[in-house]
Amino acid sequence: MRSRILLLSFIILAAGFVSVAFACVKNYDVIHENGLYIVKVNLNSAKVEPYVADKLEILYEMAKKNNASVAINTSFFDARNKKTVSYVIKNGEIIANPQENENLTSNKVLNPNLDKIYNRGELRILNCKGKIKADVAYHFDDIAEGCELLSSTQAGPVMLPDMDLEKEFFIVKQDGKIIRDAAGMTRRTDRSMAAIKDNFLYLIITDEDNPVTIYELRDKLAKYHFDRALGFDGGGSVSLFVKQSDGDFYQEREEKGASREIKSALLVY
């Protein structure tokens, strides 16, 4: 992954990891360790919501036009017709619907497995009796009792507490061997994801020197004892923006000298 860093100030902490200092933004912290960039978001003081582009946009443009403090790539999309492969809901409205993607619904291989694709994991932002919480669930799971769904961002796979790539139709096995890997889950590449612990939301990407399989990424999470985790679209889509008082941090992969345009992002204000 090629890094575009406009200005970046690091403070070396005694614990041995790197943290980014903020003068004007107090809703989150950033650390760089274990081959990961990790953004910690306090759900009680920050606003988190999804964004879906009409066509495709660069993450940096998404963040800037919406004046977001943090942005990360999220859902899967079809680069050919620029339509979503994942559900996104905002304020009770479906703003990205995979059932409207004819390349998905008419595909002879995918069509018999649409129920699995439509039910892939999602990150939910909930209002639970006045307290904002995050959750990871499958799309057709019930909303937690006493909670109202504010938004959901689907991608996958669900990584914690359990991971089942066959359930979400990311891989297909025959006689115990993988015969189909739809999204490169077993290939070492750049990864992005979200995790939850103690009502904090963690937005995470791998750094440019640490491509991993989805299994290796899940193993990296063990030291953090996260409660729940969800993978986002990987590979060339992986990108992270962080607004700072002394210059913005932006990490992405450039291909042939150009940033990859994506369909959706999660924005933090």
Q: What's the pLDDT score for residue 182?
A: 86
Q: What's the pLDDT score for residue 8?
A: 39
Work out the number of other CB atoms within 10 angstroms of the CB of residue 18.
Answer: 15
| Residue ranges for the chain with pLDDT beneath 70 | 1-29
Q: For residue 181, what are its two tokens?
A: 């890997």
pTM of the model: 0.89
User: Taking the mean position of all CA atoms in its chain, how far away is CA 181?
Assistant: 19
Which of 192, 243, 236 shows the shortest CA–CA distance to 62?
243
Q: Give the strand pairing for 158-160 and 228-231.
A: antiparallel
Q: What's the pLDDT score for residue 29?
A: 66
Domain boundaries, the chain: 3-268
User: Taking the mean position of all CA atoms in its chain, how far away is CA 31?
Assistant: 17
Work out the number of other CB atoms within 10 angstroms of the CB of residue 208.
Answer: 16
